[in-house]
Structure 1
Amino acid sequence: MKLKLILICFIGTLFSMQAQTSVKPSILENSGIISGKITDKKTNEPLPYVNIVVKENNKVITGGITSDKGTFQIKNLALKDYTVEIQFMGYKTITKSAKLTEDRNINFNTIALEEDAVQLAGVEVVSEKSTIVQKIDRKIINVGKDLISAGATAGEIMNNIPSVSVDPQTNAISLRGNSNVRILIDGKPTNMDAAQILQQIPSASIKQIELITNPSAKYNPEGMSGIINIVLNKNSKLGFNRSINNGVTFGKTPKVNSSLDLNYRSGKFNFYGNYGFNHGKNANYGFIKSFETNKENLQKFEFNNKNTSHLAKLGFDFYINEKNTFSFYTNQSFFLGNGFGSTDVDYVNNSNIDKLQLFDNVNDDHSQTYNFDYKLNFKKEGHNLELEVNYNKSDSPEDAVYTNYNKTTGVLINSFNNDVETLGKSTIVNLDYVNPLTETIKLELGLESRNDNTDNSLFKDNAFGSAFTYDRSLYSAYATLGKQWKKWNFQVGARLEQYDVEAIFKKDGEADSKFEDDILSLYPSTFITYNPSDNNSFNLSFSRRVDRPSISQVNPIREWSTPTIDSEGNPDLIPQFTNSFELNYTRKTKIGSITSGIFYRRIEDEITRVIFTNPEDTNKQILSYDNFENNDAYGVEVSGNLDFKKWWSANISLDAYKKKVKGTIENTPGNFEFITVNATTFNTRISNTFKATKDLRFQLSGMYRGRDISLQFLREPMWKMDFGTSYNILKGSGTISARFSDIFNTMHFAFNGDRPYKANGQFNWESQSVYVGFNYRFGSGKNKAIQRKQRDKNETQGSGGLL
């Protein structure tokens, strides 16, 4: 109720302010008007949403856009001499002189715009090479054909993105060596598991990837290492336009992927959509050698999964008039997975029974998102109010059958069925207000309400086993103020957030276990940018962030099980907080741009994976999560987007991280000890593009991921090399791509562990594969120069000055 009252008062105040200021220009007497109509030179049809820019001495004074009938009228101009520019993507810019000192009412009548063949040639065509843009609070990777060719899904191309690592086996994602990262789709959270998201999104449907390592106070502070925002294609071209992508990956078995992007733009409406389909079988295998006293054994694993996924996005924009826009879209995700696996446990000591476990499961997941957005533009350029409502619902049932045999005799030990049901709902309401107070000062205010609910239940052999309900609510308000002063840009902000959580765990035969938390926190952020020249830019930033335990981390219901290990959450986890500092430098050279940076993090109550002996069964271990001591992490990053020759360009990145990890773990079975570990990780990537001819391209890429140390495990280094090629056909509208991944078959996961007992192992997947794909783009339209929603890309206002 308090939040509703605040929202009502906030909106009422803003409209009251607008009502008071909107009458002032009407009483101006010494003012002039510039008007006219814009049409297409060839068709004579009116052009709506054309940019009209009014300048005085090359300085932008005001402006507007044309109506649906192609007309414009700019009022309340001082009686001076102006230059008027008519700008529209795909057309040549026209400049007109307007001398209001001679005539108070200047009508240009009809102005016909001529198509710009150079601009039209590049409209909505995927660039050959991905580009990296460094902004005040993020790094933006505009996805080109080289990245699309690097993989069929989002998970595969992520491994070619600076600072990002994806486990090829589990699709677990990390940013700057830390898995506490928030994944957004089009700037919105989802209840879907991040690993599943990366498997389902086709690479051809991705427009850009944003790495927001130090988000401002405007954005939710979750994610210690920051935010990865995946922006899907959303066209706004006139007429009907489409793009089709099909591909096949050949590993041990073939896997198909397809995607379709459509848009239709006419008058006040823009309809768009994309659809992605993935289907195929995936084979994984591995082993673990355990040297636990009297329980030494060799475990062999084989997993075969047949997955089918559908991901669709449909939406529209309704441009009510020049000041009001209403938008809606929905994401629908369907995933069907059939998995079969076996675990073979062979003990060295014959007193232990050798076991064989067969595992068969079916996952049938459906996730749906509905997003509504209304944006009101006030008269002043950049002055707007935006209300957004986002609703997400997911249903993830799993039916699993475990069968255990005595491997020596072949006698059945036991067999049981697990039915797991997970229902999730999330509702987010955002209200954002932006006001450029002056030409160099910008104010942003906002409110957010977020409610999440998850119900999880486990039935064993159709009998109730356990249930877990997790409800959390977040109410927040933020304010940021930006100032531009000469070559400096400053932005300060703070977000006040109230966090409430209630959870209850019910287990057959046990008393209910309840958990509650109530935290009020302040999250400040500061950004300072200095641009001594066009070729040099420095950026210093600070933000405080939080990682609240996810449902999978706190859910005590088992996630998966083997004869020796059960994976489950820890309901006693508490949030971890991080103070993050960054310093970045970007240098533009004749051959491209190079960005280098350093960062430091202070982490409080860090959440980390841990393994310990099951107190109810000493022959098994539990893989779970725990809060460790306060830890420090710091690192350095360098990335370059370079053109060495006209025929050779490359994206290069390297990073090194050092962290001190402290915590109490099980050192030997049943014995716990406080441990401190210093770990250093080094990663590097290079992606080369060679232009043999105008239409023929070759790509050669490689990556190396150094070893990583945790309190209990050491992950061995990983590396691979890929080779690809692409050829444009059909006058550039079509592209044939091919890729040979992991040429030397070197990519696998290997580890060594000493706690709570000595162990080592290795897991392999279909890393070595061949991909063949075809992309075809066709349509009849030209781009509209329309204003996109800020939050649709999760994009900040930048430097704090007027853009």
Structure 2
Amino acid sequence: MNLKLILLCLLGAVLPIQGQTSVKPILLENQGTISGKVIDKKTNEPLPYVNIVVKEENKIVTGGITSDKGTFLIKNLDLKSYTVEIQFIGYKTVYKTISLTAKGKTADLKTISLEEDAIQLEGVEVVNERSTIEQKIDRKVINVGKDLLSAGATAAEIMNNIPSVSVDPQTNAISLRGNSNVRILIDGKPTNIDASQLLQQIPSTSIKQIELITNPSAKYNPEGMSGIINIVLNKNSKIGFNGSINNGVTFGKTPKLNSSVDMNYRTGKFNIYGNYGLNTGKQSNRGFINTLEPGEEDFQKFTFVNNNTSHLAKIGFDFYLNEKNTISFYTNHNIFKGSGDSKTTVNFVDLGKEDITQLFNNEDDNYSQTYNLDYKKNFKKEGHYIELEVNYNTNDNKEIGAFSTPATNYITNVGNNTLINLDYTDPISETAKLELGLETRIEDTRNKFLLDNAYNSDFAYDRNIYSAYATYSKQWGKWSAQAGTRFEKYNASALFRKVNENDATFEDDLFTLYPSGYINYSPSEKNSFNLSVSRRVDRPSINQVNPIREWSTPQVDSEGNPELFPQFTNSYELNYTRKTKIGSITTGVFYRRINDEITRTLYESPTDPSKQILSYANLNDNNAYGFELSGNLDFKKWWSANISFDAYTKKTKGIVADEFIEVDVTTFNTRISNTFKPSKNLRLQLSGMYRGRDLGLQFERQPMYKIDLGSSYTILKGSGTITARFSDVFNTMNFAFDGTKPKRQEGQFNWESQSAYVGFNYRFGTGKNKAIQRKQRDKNETQGGGGLL
């Protein structure tokens, strides 16, 4: 993608708009104006970008924002009586009543002094004391607080404390509502990095919000059977120079460092922000697999030691051309370097077979970068805008693996992802809204495999997606509804070449409609019901279709399946939210009908019966349904808790080792996180989780559970926080399984689950948030147009 070309095209679109907005409006004889100046009551300094809202009988007529000097002028008003609201985050709202007549067409409100609102100022702290969960019409938003930040050093560890989300501690595979077909986005944008690797690279202190979108609307890309998880990174927007510094050390078998710094500087029409996160240290894992199949008995023992370092940096700016036009840019850079040593031993029961010892060491270098450019044009009517966004992401990964056999694997992966998105939103009335969007996605991946420094194979994968969406929402009384459809043209092609084999190709060309709908009923302020339906798709990822060997042990090879085809899901969901005196409680039920489900499969190697191939396959049509309960509760002034419980039932059927198998399983999961406040500055935390057994076509996973203790103490007049945590107090967490197909096996894997953490957070700067309308990607209701969050 030629970024210079994108910039030139964008400037070409901006300049004509700027020329139009510079034309002075014509004042008609029967129209009036409202003017004034807004200052800070304490400092007498002018306040720029304050919202000025003009209402007639509680209906918004027009509005504007103050200039850099704090002044405002609103023109072309009918000669009527109005209420003027002066709104600014961190200040109390001021109301003025004025009347425009033929004799008094001009209303000068003079100088208006705004007074700080202590209650609102509490909400602009860099990090809240406690995480909060908000149930929106189409998503659940977790605002990350100090309790979650102290839950772990990386995004993967935080995710394991989020309702409905599970992360496999051994493989870092993430699942939502018991299903691993979930789409992971960073700041609402796709990435080329595999989710299991990405979650280990993001420091927990860099995360602002986590959004769970279990039944996305037509505005979003339809990928991810169980929905979308969007990780929103920190971005500050306060006036002046502000920021925070975080440092933490986790002590397991070896110490691991987790640090980050967040800063921003904002003045006038310009805001620049950035953050940097470092995550480094060694991780130790061990496990065994005991094969009990008659005639093939063996005992396999594994030890793994990985030394990883991850750097994550984000920098960006917002430039407010005027009150109607904004240009934003940001870039993310992720540098990951890792090395590992492992040892696998295989002891055979049959004395006629020679035992095996395999040593393996690897080096992994990954560099990914994202560039995002956004232009937004606001029209006169509140909420009426058009927005153009261009996002480019590239990923370059090199891996060297050496076996004691001897054999050396050298693998390179290069991926590029370009996304161009255009959104248009028109609130056609106070109770109705129309949203339209177009999107183009161009993706390509190149993979090459060298064996002992000699070419072995390569894999090329390209896909282009062109889509358009339309949604219409309407509110009447206590009811509201939204309906929409996404139209998508999908094309994918792949080429696999290997020495001494014929080239293998793959083509897929589809045109599909993805409808969605929502109905919300709120009989009172304390009760609301929400029903949603949607159609979704899971397309095979590059890792799932790549036939190049991903990793190998003496008994198992892992590789993709290029013959995979997409699976489609029809999803239905009903939620009820009840607000009580002690907080809010949300319950929900869902049902999913899955066609051609993609799943992991293990089968006997066609070239070596003593080995197995771990890959992917399409199963038959399946059903899944479940129940969820979550609460964000304050039992006492000194005791609050986040509680969640979920139960999923699924029926899975398919063919394994030439045998048709069907299983039914119900899985229970529960979490509770308690926060106790013995004093103004001291916080104590007690949390626990239980993950019930899970049954697949080939394996049964045993239950997992743990208890964590934590504390935090505020110092330096509220600017600093010391945090301590002891995870897995009783050392009970492990991954244990029993398998039946294709061989009778049992096994268990352990990691450094029991650990201690000590951290320190320092916040500096005294600026207040400006109330200018910012790009929606930084709000709870993150931008969703054209498939972006």
TM over 0.5: yes
One of 537, 548, 551 as aligned partner of 2:542: 551
Distance in 1, Cα, partners of 2:184 & 2:481 = 27
Aligned to 1:157, the other structure's residue is in SS state: helix
Q: Using the TM superposition, name which of 292-301 and 371-380 deviates more.
A: 292-301
Distance in 2, Cα, partners of 1:722 & 1:28 = 69
Whether the 8 Å CA contact 1:135–1:798 is kept in 2: the answer is: no
Could you tell me which residue of structure 2 aligns to residue 788 of structure 1?
A: 774
One of 587, 591, 602 as aligned partner of 1:596: 587
Matches within 5 A, 1:404-803: 414-666=405-657, 672-791=658-777, 795=781
Distance in 1, Cα, partners of 2:123 & 2:588 = 33
Distance in 2, Cα, partners of 1:285 & 1:82 = 71
Could you tell me which residue of structure 2 aligns to residue 249 of structure 1?
A: 250
Deviation at 1:575, TM superposition (A): 0.5
Deviation at 1:12, TM superposition (A): 13
Deviations 1:325-357 (A, max 9, x none): 000000000000010000000000011110000
Deviation at 1:264, TM superposition (A): 0.4
Could you tell me which residue of structure 2 aligns to residue 138 of structure 1?
A: 139
Deviation at 1:582, TM superposition (A): 0.3
Deviation at 1:793, TM superposition (A): 5.6
Evaluate the alpha carbon distance shift between residue 24 and residue 631 of structure 1 in structure 2; reply closer, same or farther with a 3 A threshold. Answer: farther
Could you tell me which residue of structure 1 aligns to residue 8 of structure 2?
A: none
Deviation at 1:21, TM superposition (A): 13
Could you tell me which residue of structure 2 aligns to residue 225 of structure 1?
A: 226
Whether the 8 Å CA contact 1:200–1:276 is kept in 2: the answer is: no
Deviation at 1:260, TM superposition (A): 0.4
Distance in 2, Cα, partners of 1:333 & 1:593 = 37
Whether the 8 Å CA contact 1:472–1:502 is kept in 2: the answer is: yes
Deviation at 1:66, TM superposition (A): 1.1
Aligned to 2:205, the other structure's residue is in SS state: helix
Aligned to 1:437, the other structure's residue is in SS state: strand
Whether the 8 Å CA contact 2:65–2:772 is kept in 1: the answer is: no
Matches within 5 A, 1:392-407: 392-403=393-404
Deviation at 1:121, TM superposition (A): 4.6
Aligned to 2:610, the other structure's residue is in SS state: strand
Distance in 2, Cα, partners of 1:169 & 1:739 = 21
Aligned to 1:557, the other structure's residue is in SS state: coil
Deviation at 1:112, TM superposition (A): 2.8
Could you tell me which residue of structure 1 aligns to residue 3 of structure 2?
A: none
Whether the 8 Å CA contact 2:687–2:708 is kept in 1: the answer is: yes
Aligned to 1:510, the other structure's residue is in SS state: coil
Distance in 1, Cα, partners of 2:17 & 2:684 = 58
AA matched with 1:581: Y
Deviation at 1:206, TM superposition (A): 1.1
Distance in 2, Cα, partners of 1:17 & 1:455 = 40
Distance in 2, Cα, partners of 1:385 & 1:121 = 33
Q: Using the TM superposition, name which of 121-130 and 286-295 deviates more.
A: 121-130
Deviation at 1:13, TM superposition (A): 13
Q: Using the TM superposition, name which of 193-202 and 481-490 deviates more.
A: 193-202
Whether the 8 Å CA contact 1:295–1:352 is kept in 2: the answer is: no
Deviation at 1:792, TM superposition (A): 5.1
Aligned to 2:361, the other structure's residue is in SS state: strand
Deviation at 1:76, TM superposition (A): 2.2
Aligned to 1:199, the other structure's residue is in SS state: helix
Whether the 8 Å CA contact 1:181–1:224 is kept in 2: the answer is: yes
Matches within 5 A, 1:312-391: 312-391=313-392
Could you tell me which residue of structure 2 aligns to residue 55 of structure 1?
A: 55
AA matched with 2:654: G
Deviation at 1:486, TM superposition (A): 0.8
Evaluate the alpha carbon distance shift between residue 539 and residue 234 of structure 1 in structure 2; reply closer, same or farther with a 3 A threshold. Answer: same
Could you tell me which residue of structure 1 aligns to residue 286 of structure 2?
A: 285
- Give me the CA root mean square deviation: 2.4
Evaluate the alpha carbon distance shift between residue 125 and residue 462 of structure 1 in structure 2; reply closer, same or farther with a 3 A threshold. Answer: closer
Distance in 1, Cα, partners of 2:438 & 2:580 = 42
Distance in 1, Cα, partners of 2:120 & 2:535 = 43
Deviation at 1:619, TM superposition (A): 1.2
Deviations 1:474-514 (A, max 9, x none): 00000000101111111000000000001000000111111
AA matched with 2:617: D
Aligned to 2:157, the other structure's residue is in SS state: helix
Deviations 1:600-659 (A, max 9, x none): 000011000000011011111000000010110000000000011111100000000001
Distance in 1, Cα, partners of 2:622 & 2:360 = 39
Aligned to 2:753, the other structure's residue is in SS state: coil
AA matched with 1:77: L
% identical equivalent positions:
70
Whether the 8 Å CA contact 1:390–1:427 is kept in 2: the answer is: yes
Whether the 8 Å CA contact 1:187–1:794 is kept in 2: the answer is: no
Distance in 1, Cα, partners of 2:760 & 2:474 = 48
Whether the 8 Å CA contact 1:605–1:630 is kept in 2: the answer is: yes
Deviation at 1:558, TM superposition (A): 0.7
Whether the 8 Å CA contact 2:330–2:373 is kept in 1: the answer is: yes
Aligned to 1:262, the other structure's residue is in SS state: strand
Aligned to 1:619, the other structure's residue is in SS state: coil
Could you tell me which residue of structure 2 aligns to residue 409 of structure 1?
A: none
AA matched with 1:746: T
Q: Using the TM superposition, name which of 147-156 and 544-553 deviates more.
A: 147-156
Aligned to 1:294, the other structure's residue is in SS state: coil
Distance in 2, Cα, partners of 1:506 & 1:260 = 45
Deviation at 1:108, TM superposition (A): 1.4
Deviation at 1:180, TM superposition (A): 0.4
Deviation at 1:37, TM superposition (A): 1.6
Evaluate the alpha carbon distance shift between residue 530 and residue 710 of structure 1 in structure 2; reply closer, same or farther with a 3 A threshold. Answer: same
AA matched with 1:484: Q
Whether the 8 Å CA contact 2:369–2:393 is kept in 1: the answer is: yes
